[in-house]
Amino acid sequence: MLVGIIGAPNKGKSLLFSCLTSIEVPSADYPFTTIEPNRGVALLRVKCAHVEMGLPKCDARGGHCKDGMREIAVPLLDVAGLVPGASEGRGKGNQFLDDLRTADGFIHVVDASGRTDLDGQAAQDFPLDEEVGFLQGELAGWLAGILKRNEAKYKNRGLAELMEAISGLGYTSSQITVAAQKAGIPLERIQWTDEQTAQFAKNLWADGKPMLVAANKADLGGAMERVKETQKSIPKISIRPCSAMYEHVLQKAGKAGMVKYTSGAADFEISGTADGPQKAALERIRAFMKENGGTGVQAALHELVFEKLGMLVVYPVEDENHCTDRKGLVLPDAFLVPAGTTAVQMAAAVHTDLAKSFIGAVDAKTKRRVGKDHVLKFGDIIKIVAAR
């Protein structure tokens, strides 16, 4: 899976990306600091299955497990700022939008303080709901443009030809069907008007590419109140207050030995190396975290992946009694898979040959034998049984 970090210029996207990935990228208080997309890997933290199983530890591979919290890798893509008219090419919009086509879901970073407009220029009390709404319109417009440019491939035809025309965008047949049904338009002998195409694109984007709004700069004066009021006005859109700057400060202070802090935690511990002014600044951060349950940066990614995208964490093993692989490593691998994943689909995720020779699977928690259509749950430990 791939998560895209998007938004208008000068909203703090690149700093949020840096906080999630520990990759330093250029950031400044002017538009289009980012031109080429930045790629990195973030680490989600979830309660490890070894705790539930009463095991003393796990042997996490590709991440760490500390104090019972397992790190799960998630690829991220930070795309340059999108401005009004991006879907028509303004601000290199088509180039930047094309960078997003392979993402499964998005974190839309906005300025909760209202101090920048849609072009990333200085402003006062810029409406937060306008900033949230403009990007969804641009993304739907971009998708409608792709549909119109490829119309000859599916006009007077059906679902199969439509899917082929937009195959590079990663939509499923069910997502396309639902979007058409909501728009009240047929998928047989397609002859859509421009208005029908636009409505279909709007539905497909909204349902097929889940989005969470990260209301950044929520630490600035009056920002939290603006977020609360905006959430009331658009209750169907999830808005998560956050401060990438506070997260950045805590991570730097942790490296300097001033604090003990785990990214995503609701609090931190100040050490003796911080002086008076530094302690005062850290206490201001603590007050914000107390109100917000943390800096909100990790929480935004967590909510998108597990609630909006509905992903599950599943642990494949070869010995269901000891929860180990063939080398005796305890729960070495943790996979992110979509909700509804079956045992045979899990086998394919581990290795395509396992799916081809699939016989069955064993739920390590219950020791129950299950078939290929068994649907996995969050935190399942599964042994794949395959023919030699």
pLDDT tens-digit series, residues 192-221: 999 999 999 999 988 888 999 999 999 999
* Predicted local distance difference test score (pLDDT) of residue 28: 47
CATH classification (class only), 310-386: alpha beta
Place of tokens 């086509």: 101
Taking the C-alpha atoms of residue 380 and residue 369, their distance in angstroms, rounded to an integer, is 13
Kindly give, in sequence order, each residue whose CB lies less than 8 Å from that of residue 121, ignoring residues fewer than 6 positions away: 10, 31
Q: Which of 342, 332, 330 is nearest to 57 (CA)?
A: 330
Domain extents in the chain? 3-37+79-233, 310-386
Helix (H) or strand (E) holding 218, with range, is none
The CA-atom distances, in angstroms, between 131 and each of 9, 111, 301, 346 are 11, 8, 20, 39
Tell me which of 87-101, 142-156, 348-362 is least confident: 87-101
- Are the C-beta atoms of 308 and 245 separated by less than 8 Å? no
CATH fold for the domain made of 3-37+79-233:
Helicase, Ruva Protein; domain 3 (1.10.8)
**Angle at the Cα of 368 (from 307 to 69), degrees rounded to 5?**
40
Distance of CA 294 to the CA centre of its chain: 18
Pairing of strands 335-338, 239-241: unpaired
Pairing of strands 259-260, 269-270: antiparallel
What average pLDDT is seen over the chain? 90
Query: One-letter amino acid identity for 89?
Result: G
What digits encode the pLDDT tens for the residues 325-340? 999 999 999 999 999 9
* Predicted local distance difference test score (pLDDT) of residue 81: 76
Taking the C-alpha atoms of residue 151 and residue 288, their distance in angstroms, rounded to an integer, is 51
- pLDDT for residue 381 is more than 70: yes
Q: CB burial class (10 A; 0-12, 13-18, 19+) of residue 280?
A: exposed
Q: CB burial class (10 A; 0-12, 13-18, 19+) of residue 68?
A: middle
- pLDDT for residue 101 is more than 70: yes
320/95: higher pLDDT = 320
- pLDDT for residue 228 is more than 50: yes
Taking the C-alpha atoms of residue 279 and residue 262, their distance in angstroms, rounded to an integer, is 18
Give the pLDDT band (50/70/90) at residue 90. low
Taking the C-alpha atoms of residue 217 and residue 109, their distance in angstroms, rounded to an integer, is 10
- Please state, for a pLDDT cut of 90, what percent of the chain lies above it: 75
Query: One-letter amino acid identity for 187?
Result: L
- pLDDT for residue 100 is more than 90: no
- Are the C-beta atoms of 49 and 29 separated by less than 8 Å? no
6/90: higher pLDDT = 6
Most confident segment among 23-32, 86-95, 186-195 = 186-195
Q: CB burial class (10 A; 0-12, 13-18, 19+) of residue 35?
A: exposed
